[in-house]
Structure 1
Amino acid sequence: MSKEKEEKQEKPYWEGKEYSFYNHKKCEFFPCHETTDPQNFNCLFCYCPLYALGSKCGGNFKYTEQGIKDCSACKLPHKRKNYGYIMSKYQEIMELAKKNQ
Structure 2
Amino acid sequence: MSEEKKQEKPYWEDKEYSFFSHKNCEYFPCHETKDTDNFNCLFCYCPLYALGSKCGGNFKYTDNGIKDCSACLLPHKKKNYGYIMSKYNEIMELAKKNR
TM-score tier by shorter-chain length is over 0.9
Deviations along 1:27-70, whole A, 9 cap, x unmatched?
00000001110000000000000000000000000000000000
Is 1:30 equivalent to 2:32 in the alignment?
Answer: no
The aligned counterpart of 1:83 is 81
The unaligned stretches of length 5 or more in structure 2 are none
Displacement of 1:5 in angstroms is 3.5
Cα RMSD, aligned residues only? 1.4
The aligned counterpart of 1:93 is 91
Is 1:20 equivalent to 2:51 in the alignment?
Answer: no
Deviations along 1:68-91, whole A, 9 cap, x unmatched?
000000000000000000000000
Displacement of 1:6 in angstroms is 7.2
- 1:11 paired residue among 9, 12, 17: 9
Determine the C-alpha separation between the residues in 1 that align with 2:3 and 2:20.
Answer: 30
Determine the C-alpha separation between the residues in 1 that align with 2:4 and 2:55.
Answer: 30
User: TM-score, normalised to structure 1's length?
Assistant: 0.93
Q: What SS class does the counterpart of residue 77 from structure 1 fall into?
A: helix
Determine the C-alpha separation between the residues in 2 that align with 1:95 and 1:37.
Answer: 34
Runs ≥4 residues deviating over 3 A:
4-8
Work out the percentage of aligned pairs sharing the same amino acid.
83
Determine the C-alpha separation between the residues in 1 that align with 2:23 and 2:15.
Answer: 19
Matches within 5 A, 1:40-79: 40-79=38-77
The unaligned stretches of length 5 or more in structure 1 are none
User: TM-score, normalised to structure 2's length?
Assistant: 0.95
Count how many residue pairs are aligned between Structure 1 and Structure 2. 98
Displacement of 1:9 in angstroms is 2.3
